[in-house]
Amino acid sequence: GEDVEQSLFLSVREGDSSVINCTYTDSSSTYLYWYKQEPGAGLQLLTYIFSNMDMKQDQRLTVLLNKKDKHLSLRIADTQTGDSAIYFCAEILLSGGSYIPTFGRGTSLIVHP
Amino acid sequence: EAGVAQSPRYKIIEKRQSVAFWCNPISGHATLYWYQQILGQGPKLLIQFQNNGVVDDSQLPKDRFSAERLKGVDSTLKIQPAKLEDSAVYLCASSWSWDNNSPLHFGNGTRLTVT
């Protein structure tokens, strides 16, 4: 199975808040990332959070981290149609002495006008 | 700052043919990654370079895939011979260093279709 798990789809109305959830596996991950992928493009870094934080806010984005449950969420306030994309959660796994960036399957966010 | 450049954007080949992809990372980025993204899935790491050395290639199918980064800058990924299941987007990414607090910057990928 996947090391990083995400729900596959989320549909919201324009102007509402969106919350995308992720569970990760490695409690020693020091940084956790959110990436956005628009059709035909690569992944774009949205935001990240350091493991000694439980919340980070960046304009319309709020990241919440629950280390005990290994749960990460991304909240997008006032969701716009331009936010429609696939959102990936990523952790950095330490494997064999190497840091391996590992991604979930992505959550497809659909924003309805 | 120029981003990660990849070429070609699209490639269609028949099974058993060969194909090569090229990547130019962001200037000064020591670490380079090749990921395979099959439709509907997240990116899967194929190989990770630190300068011109391989950090991890545990998920690279070495019987058919190869990659090099000879001068520690550009990189090529080759598939020979291709199989139908290799149809995917191949993403190149780079980061400042290989430690766990250097975010990855991605190129737009090469979409490979094997028929």
Per residue of chain A (113 residues), give pLDDT as tens.
457 999 999 999 999 999 999 999 887 777 899 999 998 888 999 999 998 899 999 999 999 999 999 999 999 999 999 999 999 999 988 777 778 889 999 999 999 99
Helices then strands, each counted (H, E), chain A: 0, 11
Mean pLDDT of B69-94: 96
* Closest chain B CA to residue A41: B108
Please state the φ and ψ torsions of residue B85, each to the nearest 5 degrees.
Answer: -75, -5
> Which residues of A are less than 8 Å from B101 in CB distance?
30-31, 50
Q: Which of B44, B55, B109 sits opposite A42 (nearest CB)?
A: B109
CB B37 within 8 A of CB B87: no
Query: CB-hemisphere CA count at 13 Å for B10?
Result: 3
Q: Mark A26-61 as b/e (b = at least 16 C-beta within 10 Å).
A: beebebbbbbbbeeeebbeebbbbeeeeeeeeeeee
Closest CA–CA distance from residue B65 to any residue of chain A (Å): 19
> Which residues of A are less than 8 Å from B43 in CB distance?
43, 88, 103
- Please report the pLDDT score of residue A2 as a whole number: 52
- Please report the pLDDT score of residue A25 as a whole number: 86
Beta-bridge partners for A31: A50
State whether A88 and B42 contact (CB < 8 Å): yes
